[in-house]
Structure 1
Amino acid sequence: MKRSKSLKLALMGATILTMTACDNPDEVAAIFEDVDECAKYEGQDLDQCRQGWEEAKQEHIRTAPKYTSVADCQADFGEGQCEQAPQQTTSGGSVFMPMMMGYMMGSMLSGGGRSNVATQPLYRSADDPKTFRTGDNQKVSSKTGVQKVPSTVTSRPTTKTSTVRRGGFGTTAARTTSSTRSYGG
């Protein structure tokens, strides 16, 4: 009796783990530092590489973390890794964002055509410079090329409508919600 009860509990646990894994399946994504690297990768089309890069650049403006000072941005992304954003604060001051270090897009090598991966810019933080991250600070990969990534990083990143006042890329930074305005698009 105890043996069958243990077996049932083990099977129930395995079933739950299997179901959880199915809820968050991996997606096939193409991750590259630039168009040239993408075009050299077997199975990638130059036009798709260029289109992916352009889409990621547009997303970069919309979704990159925004900072009110270059020093705060560099504290999170490293010396020389930040640029001035096209947005300004409501008082006309500059806004800074990390430079785009690469991009992720769906891959034609995913089996059934383009995958469900949203084309988006990727960043590298000062404290983990080898790992690509999304604009929402989700770890993606430390490698380039076509690969499986967690489905949790493949959705379109959120639009950043606030600026970060000081340090802590992601959740530990203080934010000011009414200090930026966007021009166009």
Structure 2
Amino acid sequence: MKRSKYVQLSLAASVAMAISGCGPTEKTYAVQKKYNFQSVQQCADEKLPVDVCSDAYMTAMAEHRRIAPVYDNQADCDADFVADWCQQDSAGKFIPKLGGFELTADGQVTQSQVDAAKAQLPASEAANTGGSGFSTSSLLTGLLIGNMLSSNRNSYYSEPVYRYRDDRGNYGSSTLNQRISKGSTFTKSNQARYGSSNYADSVRSSASKPVSVASSTSRGGFGSKASARSGWGGGGSSS
């Protein structure tokens, strides 16, 4: 599976308010991109800030502990995910392993940020990025997202990702929210069987919590390049 799953670049420019009432205006571009990473290192390799990558991992881990389905036996857990993918917890129950994290960056970049990112591109690729706007070049987009997330005005979303097999027997990685939107119910999980509230609603709420870049930076995340090498469930992208 490719690390980057979805790209949405809105080229309809809006006009940023000038700092002073009579100052010049600058075009801004709405940017949204959704990544699926298996490790903090993969995230950092995409030119995203290490503190954001590590904090997104920690956010996904916290959500995993809150919303991961719990089963009384391994067979029921394996049936919803992947055979031998579930693990037993200290209470003797079974939960799926965390398979990665999905990071959705959402914000705006200015024309000067676009120009600065283009200046970092190899000459061969810079020639194909168009005029004053920008294309969906993978490298250029990564640089823009990195610059955008370095600004405290922007935010991102992070959710835990799990491996599963679809109806055709193919392996994939997805958030619980995405699977629920496609009809999965996890009815054999203890949350669905014994929970007093709607399990699907609990899962959906995790997808609507933006993380402020300012708060992420103040927490510091793991805050080191060494921590960016951490991962789980084996290296490399899932198939």
TM class by smaller structure: 0.5 to 0.7
Amino acid at match of 1:123: Y
Instruction: State how far apart, in whole Å, the 2-side matches of 1:116 and 1:65 are.
Output: 28
Instruction: State how far apart, in whole Å, the 2-side matches of 1:102 and 1:50 are.
Output: 12
Query: What are the residue-to-residue correspondences of 1:133-172 with 2, within 5 Å?
Result: 133-138=174-179, 170-171=184-185
Q: Give the equivalent residue in structure 2 for 1:3.
A: none
Q: Give the equivalent residue in structure 2 for 1:102.
A: 100
Q: Give the equivalent residue in structure 2 for 1:39.
A: 44
Distance 1:172 1:100, change over 3 A: closer
Give the total of aligned pairs: 119
Query: Could you give the per-residue CA deviations for residues 93-112 of structure 1, whole angstroms, max 9, x where no partner exists?
Result: x221111111112326x535
Pair 1:83-2:83 in alignment: no
Instruction: State how far apart, in whole Å, the 2-side matches of 1:121 and 1:55 are.
Output: 8
Instruction: State how far apart, in whole Å, the 2-side matches of 1:104 and 1:79 are.
Output: 22
Give me the TM-score of the superposition, normalised by structure 1.
Answer: 0.52
Instruction: State how far apart, in whole Å, the 2-side matches of 1:122 and 1:64 are.
Output: 10
Moved more, 76-85 or 122-131: 122-131
Higher share of residues assigned strand: 1
* Alignment gaps of 5+ in structure 2: 1-30, 110-147, 197-239
Pair 1:122-2:136 in alignment: no
Identity of aligned residues (%): 26
Give me the TM-score of the superposition, normalised by structure 2.
Answer: 0.42
Instruction: State how far apart, in whole Å, the 1-side matches of 2:178 and 2:104 are.
Output: 19
Query: Could you give the per-residue CA deviations for residues 51-102 of structure 1, whole angstroms, max 9, x where no partner exists?
Result: 110110010011112211112111221222112346x4xxxxx221111111
The structure 2 residue matched to 1:131, chosen from 160, 166, 172, is 172
| Consecutive aligned runs of 4 or more in structure 1 exceeding 6 Å deviation | none
The structure 2 residue matched to 1:173, chosen from 154, 175, 187, is 187
Query: What are the residue-to-residue correspondences of 1:3-14 with 2, within 5 Å?
Result: none
